Structure 1
Amino acid sequence: MLSLVKELCLLNGVSSGEDEVRAFIREKAAPYAETMRTDALGNLIVFKKGAKATGNKLMLTAHMDEVGFIVNDITEDGYLKFAPVGGIDPRVVIGKRVSVGLGRVQGAIGLKAYHLVSAEEEKNVPKFEDMYIDIGARDRADAEAAVSLGALVAFESDAVEFGYGMFKAKAIDDRVGCAVMLKLLEEELPMDCTFVFSTQEEVGTRGALGAAFSVTPEIALVLEGTTAADLPGTDSHRQVAVPGRGPVLSFMDGGTVYDRELFELMRELGEKHQIPWQLKSGISGGNDASAVQRTKEGVRVAAISVAVRYLHAPSSVACVQDFDHMHALARKWIEAVACL
């Protein structure tokens, strides 16, 4: 599982530019798919037959996209101006390495030199419009030869293990969900399953909405990364989830109230099979479930997440064991749903 997560995290797939991730997943999924298609929004929809023929009853989804930026101007001096794609904290990006466009032009995010900052400016969080990307261009002509307006910008980050079973990379949210679905595709499944590798989750769960209308499932399982705040200075009741304590189960978040029966089933399976799990204690955030749940006459939804520190940052951190436990719990849950 870890090697697959590593490979996926090293790919660039800022929302609306998931092509590289989709091509990788398509190649990995092809030997196990009954059918496979890409829809108008770029979702990769893979159907695999299981031991029990249930058609489109169950859909699993994980999003391929990651947060990043988009180039919206080039200065006379050859610096790139940009806007965020998805929710990014401007405090975490200054000085970070990025790659721009399909050619992966290398750059760094810059800001006014510190010795020029006024006392008043020092008190405030810099805004994205005050930052720029330095690609080493001498002037606008140089920059325009390498980069076009509208080019997507992704963080550059290694994918490495460190410490006591921890893993650091960009885009763990939600390449870990994609990796779990690829592993499930390799297995003999107890029922028919439709796997949706969705697009544009980070800018409003847009891909999943179209995919769910197309697939029309009765039940859906969302595999995600979620916020961990187990950090110094954070009160215990605000920590939400902790890496290493198992997959995170949600009863409600900022976009969805999850199906009670499916949620309780998940908890029971974790206890029965001794798979560690934890509850997401904060009612915040959201994922593809909010779009899928509202599709047509409604869809019953459940979610399993991995706790991720520094979500939507150049380097996120998660626990390797949680990846395997997420896969194990998802597998047991599919087996139980096949009997519903």
Structure 2
Amino acid sequence: MISFFEASLAELSIHRIGNKSEEEFYVLSEKSLMIKDPMLSNLLQQYFLGPYEKVNEVYRFIHPNGDLNLNEAYHFAAAIFEKGETFHENSKQLAKYLYDVSGHPKIKPGELYVAYFENVQIEGELHDAIGIFKSETKESYLKVFPEQDGFGLSYEQEAININKLDKGCLIFNTDKAEGFRVAVIDQTNRSAEAVYWKDEFLKLKIRNDNFNQTSSVLGVYKNFVTEKLDEEFEISKADKIDLLNKSMKYFKEKESFDLEEFSNEVIGNAEGIASFKNYKKSFEEEFDQPIPDSFDISGAAVKKQARVYKSVLKLDKNFHIYIHGDKELIEKGFDDDKSMNYYKVFFREEQ
């Protein structure tokens, strides 16, 4: 969805952000950098942009009051896009604002990079983009170099691994009225205290496109089967796995989703269908995220969700049974002599 083979780094500002609750301060640079070394520019682009090649979700800026201009990150980004000569000054404003929301004691200090890119591709279109990145994790590196009749060895501490971007966002200069298109990454501190990056600093909401709609339905259905069904029906784990397998089969074979068709083909039970629809409605209301009853299926979202769809029966610590097809070929019973449950599995050939 995002590629940077035509991209170029036009300008870069670097600042240092401490943790406000620990009385650490921020340090702002006086001017931006123009990177002239082609090798350094390529390394920076790999560091900043490389992780986005695997990102499919697209977000938009929001504000609780409905006025986008009250969203600080949106406001400063819009100012940069409107007047490029204000890039460095607005990068400093972004740094100050990030410092203001870095109040939790577990938030790590680090460098903040604000970059201006030209010709970054998203969804087949080329746009200028503002990148906001924070490096928190530092590593030590060994350096080997020729010396006299052999080699010397040294090290560098507190260095940055360009293959591990901690936090970042790309703001594309398109769809301004809707809150721009934004891609976000947060690889560190995924616990509750660290939502400051996406929720407090950026204030983002995922765009309701086919990718998100497909992901949402698959996620809601998976939670419904694994968590909700037990509250209303007596259902075995094998039956649950069969329901999950049917749903994944539906999404892999169909080009579009239709709620009625999906409910009848996959669930096939009037009470179960009603329960699922109520569960879906509750999700939409709780997260203020409506999911339409029909939409085109995103293959990328199906592929991503397939990784977390489990089709494994775990039996004590002795056996795992992988169920990929007809659940009628597996029977559950109870052995009175051994006082243990058992499964009987039918098959034609052993491979």
What is the TM-score of this pair, normalised by structure 2? Answer: 0.26
Question: Which of the pair is proportionally richer in helix?
Answer: 2
Bigger relative CO (Cα 8 Å, ≥ 6 apart): 1
What is the TM-score of this pair, normalised by structure 1? Answer: 0.27
